[in-house]
Structure 1
Amino acid sequence: MTSNDETVARLHAQAQLRPRGNRYEDFEPGRRFVHHWGRTVTAADNTLFSTLTLHYNPHYTNEAYAQAHGHRTVPVNPLLVFNTVFGLSVEDLSEGGGPFLGVDALRYLVDVYPGDTLYARSEVVAARLASRPGYGIVTWHTTGANQHGQDVIDFQRSNLVKTRN
């Protein structure tokens, strides 16, 4: 065995899986989270997302069309805005494991344009134990804002969330 192989084997033996995210008991109704990552959405993100999802609405892929309909440039596809803000919340809210149950009350508040940076914050709306042992159902209200602090989207979502025991 070479010294490099020995180093790799030693590091592998020391590696430990750490639980990620929060558990059901961490989600007291009223608790607020300010999700620490922001994400700048680019024109390339918008074009790639729109074409890969077969979302060919010309508002999101054709600058002349978007301008003819009152936009200063091509706005970001709202589904990309939703997925980005949702994704920003995962580490704090649902990364601990448990099936996604759905989204309710989704509202798009302001258009997002390439170059805007999105941020997310969430509040626990409800938490109750589930009929499935070892899980609870948690509902959060998540709001996404741009770099100016202007809210651009909000929604509620629910997940099954593992309990500690």
Structure 2
Amino acid sequence: MKTNPGRYFEDYQLGEVLRHAVPRSIGPGERALYHALYPARAALYSSDEFARASGLAASPLDDLIAFHTVFGKTVPDVSLNAVANLGYAEGRWLKPVWPGDTLRAESEVIGLKENSNGKSGVLYVRTRGFNQHDEVVLEYSRWVMVKKRRDVPAADPVVPELKKAVAAADLVVPEGLDFSRYDFALAGEPHRWGDYAIGEKIDHIDGITVEEAEHMLATRLWQNTSKVHFDVTQREDGRRLIYGGHVISLARTLSFNGLANAQMIVALNGGAHANPCFSGDTVRAWSEVLDKAETPAPGVGALRLRLVAVKQGAAPFALKGEDGRYLPEVLLDLDYWALIPL
């Protein structure tokens, strides 16, 4: 048999290292498509001149381009037969990704836990993305619900202990980054690190309606081959599930209105895809400031932000019900660190 149906839950072994095919060289074309899909407007990722004025050699590729590319590499080995991608932890962007870089990925199986129905299980992996110099540019952990192929006894469950947040001291600021001469007019908003307060909530106001065509373009662009995104027969309701990363990028783009100067994502503390998103849903977003920290880089501070994506019908800043479960309108609950001028 030369074809590959993909792995199922019982095919994974604790401690196993998966080397993912296929390395991918990425360039300005990915940036253009990314900005067309999400309309991203962060100045540091839009302008070489703005990036040079901020101490970098040129404008790097968007942090989420790096994330989506590395994530897409893992799908055939990790989540081809997934029911849903469940969450993230311990993510860090360690080096900028530049146009022309080639990225590859490896994942280690760090946890396995069969679900009580015996038809699926939760797989935990730690993924690292490398550039052509074998430097780690990105690392994160995630857990995904994967179908079982057959009724076989499961091994004893192992659930890894994952940190609730990346410590501010462990954030990696790109070498040379300097916001001491930051141009707020060109960036689009006047708000700096000191203007945000812990506990503050920001309604990003705008909305984007998801269309089938853009989602399919995004999943193909990032080479995300998970069956639930392509094949309508994979779900009982006959609907294609919108790729969770698509929702992340939509929400991040919407957050420009109120957080335009939160230029670079440098850590992913946690995240949950709370409810499925489908074509026709209108995505809106709000943020909460969870923490603040200064960094050793000149003029550079960090904000820890909760980014929540919701769909139509959501009440302002509503997240969970009295039972502690996410409300049905909540699509994404993401906790991350971003760099912002002091």
Q: Is the shorter-chain TM-score for this pair beyond 0.5, marking a shared fold?
A: yes
2:110 pairs with 93, 114, 125, which one?
125
The percent identity for this pair of structures is 32
Partners of 1:33 and 1:62 in 2: CA distance: 36
Residues 1:77 and 2:66 are matched in the alignment = no
Structure 1 counterpart SS, 2:103: strand
Aligned-partner residue type, residue 58 of structure 2: T
Tell me, what secondary structure is at the counterpart of 1:95?
coil
Query: Are positions 1:20 and 2:15 aligned together?
Result: no
Within the candidate set 38, 44, 58, 1:53 is matched to 38
- Residue 132 of structure 1 deviates from its aligned partner by 3.6
Residue 89 (structure 2) aligned to one of 85, 97, 104: 104
Aligned with 2:143: secondary structure? strand
**How far apart are the structure 1 equivalents of 2:58 and 2:32?**
13
- Given residue 160 of structure 1, which amino acid in structure 2 is its aligned partner? M
How big is the shift at 1:19? 6.2
Structure 1 residues 80 and 133: CA distance shift in structure 2, 3 A:
same
Write out per-residue CA displacement over residues 56-109 of structure 1, whole angstroms, 9 at most, x where no aligned residue. 101111110011111111101000100000000101111023211112111100
Structure 2 distance, partners of 1:90, 1:29, is 18
Q: Which has the higher helix share?
A: 1
Q: Deviating runs (4+, > 6 A) in structure 1?
A: none
Query: CA 1:39–1:81 in structure 2 vs 1: closer, same or farther (change >3 Å)?
Result: same
Letter in 2 for 1:123: E
Counterpart residue number, 2:318:
none
The CA deviation string for residues 95-143 of structure 1, in whole angstroms up to 9 with x for no partner, is 0232111121111000000000000000001001013431010010000
2:15 alignment counterpart: 30
Deviates more, 1:136-145 or 1:91-100: 91-100
The corresponding residue for 2:72 is: 87
- Verify the 8 A CA contact 1:67 1:73 in the aligned structure 2: yes
1:138 to 107, 123, 144: 123
Matched, 1:157 2:142: yes
Amino acid at match of 1:90: V
More deviation, 138-147/52-61: 52-61
TM-score by length of 2: 0.42
Cα gap change, 1:98 to 1:19, in 2 (>3 Å): farther
Shift of 1:54: 2.4
CA–CA distance in structure 2, aligned partners of residues 31 and 39 of structure 1: 23
Give me the whole-angstrom Cα distance separating, in 1, the residues matched to 2:122 and 2:99.
35
Q: Provide the rounded CA distance (Å) in 1 between the counterparts of 2:59 and 2:135.
A: 19
In the aligned structure 2, how far is the partner of 1:42 from the partner of 1:105?
27
Could you say which structure has the greater relative contact order, defined with CA pairs below 8 angstroms and 6 or more residues apart? 1
SS of match in other structure, 1:38: strand
Give the aligned length.
148
CA contact (8 A) 1:137 1:161 kept: yes
Letter in 1 for 2:12: F
One-letter identity of the residue aligned with 2:90: A
- The alignment status of 1:41 with 2:64, answered yes or no, reads no
AA at the equivalent of 1:121: E
